Amino acid sequence: MPLSQAPAKKALRIIPLGGLGEIGLNCMVFEYADELIVVDCGVMFSDLQMLGVDFVIPDMTYLRENKDRIAGYVITHGHEDHIGALPFAMKAHPAPIYSTRFAHKLIEAKLAEHGLDRKTEFRVFAPGDTIRFRHFSVTPVPVNHSIVESMALFIDTPLGKVVFTGDFKMDASPHYGNPMDPKPFQKAGNDGVLLLMSDSTNVERDGHSLSEKRIYHKFEQLFTETQGLTVIAVFASNVGRIGQVVEIARKLGRKVAFMGRSMEQNARLARELGYLDGLEEVLIGVDDIEKHGRDRCIVLSTGSQGEYRSGLMRVANNEHRAVKIREGDLVVMSSKFIPGNEKAIGRMINDLFRLGAEVLYEPLADIHVSGHANAGELRAMLKMTKPRFFVPVHGEYRHLVHHKKLALGANVAKGNAVIAANGDILETDGKSMAIVGHMEENRVLIEGEGGKDVSKVILKDRRKVAETGIVFSVLIRNRVSGKVMAGPDIISRGLLEETLMGDLFDKAKETVMAILDDCDAIAREREVNVQEEIRVGLRRFFQARIGKKPVVVPVLIDV
């Protein structure tokens, strides 16, 4: 199907560009006639750090080829996996960004790093506002999640209402905001919901998710009992969790220090919007911890996922200039371990234990509650909205399968519950829904502050170098006579220990000289690529001698 082809007349098209079959990379396109809106535009952090890939963004080819039809980007909340790719979208196919106040602050700061904040049109909405487009109208409805001002979206289309839950849970006692109100969802269900698209992350967990109130009481107990410095590792966007720490610190007469640039920035932005009351009474710099007494201080740190060079990682490596772990200190990992990060987190925890810290983490202690609904809440959402069609989103493939089973148990007809993959093109005319095509999913790998695209070819080369090492063969020849004036020199990295290279490299030099002699003979009859002959010959040489075919880079200089 051509990417620029519009949906069938009187058909609603939905295209997931990311977020299905995975945790992260959320980006969903809704399209009717000549108009499309984009819900969320996020990143997924890479598990390929050693190969230089920092994060992944959705392939936005479809958006680029239809940029004149994009009416806007509507953001459910401010997590990176929902807003992180917006700088790339604004560069290539800009349109107004609709979001709540806090998400707006986070997005504006992110775009400012790319010089795009003044070039972007922001439109801030409040819960219950109606965002009107030509064919769509979108009403944000508050839900509970692990970041303030999270929204579900009621998307009214010419064919009916779509309920897009975003990331949500039903918390009876959130630290900020109100418990999620079921009435708007019940009313939507009574009026008629064409399609429900619902968060699948915690579908494998039975019952109801735990409330933030549970964390408050656990933290208060820990802060009272600890005899040393307390370090809390938490997502910098979890303003509610940060607010709990600040409130308990005030209550107990403790001081709070922030560690990590994103922690400091998000706290400042939250404070500007009226969150984190009383922060100024307890806030100190990390350099002032010793002055106030280690046992009287709490450090809120980034690095809960073992991110390279994050605040907590530097502490674990004993490289932080101000925060040093001592025997009796307490480190609390108050966040979920994101799939793919377990090894890095495990190494960091081991290093913290080696320094003498007591480390609390799931499942050893109740020091984190998820921001996502368990199966009981997902079932309740299905029963409230009573959708004709159902598409599970935001989860790995097994989560989508389990969520579909929940929907079938909640009276969604078997043919009306659809598991889609990234790149699938779903269409509905209001009476039926089907996957009518598929776009090749080519996610984009990004590295560096400039956001440079890393091609699969480059990634393959990096992996090859990492696995087999690299060898350089350098020699200088006389341009006229072809006589070797210097070299060949053999230089390698990642191949063998230096003590084992002497005889091997002498033989490799002899191999290069033999190849040059052969090339001179062949050149009398036909043209020959000397560098390619050296490359192939040395790879064969090392394969025969050490059982490896390293990457070989011949450097031939004629002077």
Residue positions annotated with a catalytic role = 199, 372
Distance, CA of 211 to CA of 229 (rounded, Å): 27
φ/ψ of residue 220, rounded to 5: -60, -40
Distance from the first to the final alpha carbon of the chain: 55
CA angle, residues 83, 89, 92, in degrees to nearest 5: 170
All residues at 6 or more sequence positions from 85 whose CB lies less than 8 Å from its CB, including other chains: 25, 27, 41, 42, 43, 57, 58, 60
Retrieve residue 538's tokens.
């040395």
Retrieve residue 336's tokens.
């979920």
In a 3-state reduction of DSSP, which class is residue 485?
strand
Strand pairing partners for 150? 143
Q: Look at the block and give the residue holding tokens 């050893």.
A: 364
Q: Residue ranges of the alpha helices (H) in 355-416?
A: 375-385, 397-409
Cis peptide before 488 (omega within 30 of 0): yes
**C-alpha distances in angstroms, 137 versus 155, 166, 388?**
6, 17, 20
Residues 140 and 164 sit within 8 Å (Cβ to Cβ): no
What one-letter code names the amino acid at 305?
A: Q
CA 418, 27, 62, 448 torsion-angle sign: negative
Residue 300's nearest CA partner among 338, 266, 253 is 266
Retrieve residue 413's tokens.
């007809």
Residues 232 and 418 sit within 8 Å (Cβ to Cβ): no
What one-letter code names the amino acid at 316?
A: A
Helices 397-409 and 375-385, packing angle to 10 deg: 50
Residues 459 and 51 sit within 8 Å (Cβ to Cβ): yes
Residue 140's nearest CA partner among 122, 153, 131, 158 is 153
All residues at 6 or more sequence positions from 321 whose CB lies less than 8 Å from its CB, including other chains: none
Helices 101-112 and 261-272, packing angle to 10 deg: 140
- Neighbouring CB atoms inside 10 A of 159's CB total 17
